[in-house]
Structure 1
């Protein structure tokens, strides 16, 4: 019997989230020779994404569609996933380490009586035992640990922006298995969803993040940061200090009590570098700090530092990037 690894896909704003493809990569790396990696789509009108998942490497696509699944509801989604698990009998299930994944993964692990490893950033095969070692950051990113499973089945959540996207094969197809929605009496209902206005780029999956701290001084102080983010096609983030001061919405908060981001480029503007904030962005590939205080802790982890007023430096950077992009010297 073929061993199955499930990769849970997520849809947001009418499109598949990037992490939907990254979990395929993680599942593929963990699977053995001859194993099957199957994507799972749960929602309303989501079967249209099956071909895209197949093009990114899914061998099968399981689909559960129903009006009850239009908005995320833990009860309904868990029941739907249990129906998929019953049909697929997977060895492992991979989720994105997102708000949905962090909520749904423990429910699946509990129902399967399986172990769970959360927030992994890499995996490898142990040469001695042949078991899979999963790497995850601990102590606010100051250290890393490797864990493995002893249970027959396993549940894993994958931190976005840490696994490469699988190759896209135009025209590649995969069998689609439609699973009937297991109608059950729901104790909770989602009547409506009110969302805050957000940027064009998903913060948790952005390749470039420009963040502001208390140094922006006001809500209007985020304007130059937003302009730079727009030029670089990046996302805007913030420290908790900026959020607590009312300069921006808490949806932008990065840190120990906010979002964890791992972009290719992180630009910290007017952020001192408190350990709580560093916990959410220290794994960024390249960190640039802009601060008037040369002794600010953020410079200790920054790859590049600019000592200066962000209201002078950021507009200069924006103008320079605009010029470089116009000339075609920047990708």
Structure 2
């Protein structure tokens, strides 16, 4: 007869590895840590990666902080479009800060271990700020839609109350997605292996490593994908459909270009963020190796947040003037 504190554990063969199937268990030891494989195992490449990512992280922080400070300090930029831009910059800083500092420390200390709790925490913030980025881009598309298609009612529609409510709703939805994803993973005790072929705790890889029914994993992944990707993209596509329809009715070609130029920066950021993000996850589901996916994901986790301030400042005279005024005051 089995002792009260003992347990029996059987192994069954899964699709990609062995997983434990618990018949009766008490005092089970959960996975205590994971090993992040990083971008490369080449020791000669580690100092180069350290310097590269430290530089990109500092540039990203400086650029986005300048955007936030310029918008908050200049009364000419106290409008809905720049209010959303400053929130996007704050989300970009938080999004990159969930993964890159840990990777920089790992490259310096040559220690790629992350605790189970640390992994879940990192993944929770990654989902939160990644989803927030996506929703804010959708909100900014709606702002451009109102500005171009309903210019006479723009100030009435995009009131400060509505702008604050849109940002608050984006934060709450992002929190819901993040917590639902985490609550599902907290139910998993055993994993097929402890090595994660990434430089951070990627949610899709962690779900694939979990020893559980694949149907549950797929439902979670599809739901999270719909909430953080499909719905925002649908909103952006609908907004730009209306914008293009409105621009086509403008008689002069110069007027069409001037009207559409107000969307150029936002459209560039949308293509860069969604193009790289969707490309990584779609290719990982088809044939791309996990290590190549990790390298490709650098674009939307590091490069895109770093380029956003340059895209908005180089294509926007108001932002450039505000940043110059702010720097002159500071100096």
Q: Is TM (by shorter chain) over 0.5? A: no
Which structure has more relative contact order (CA 8 Å, sep 6+)? It is 2
Greater radius of gyration (CA): 2
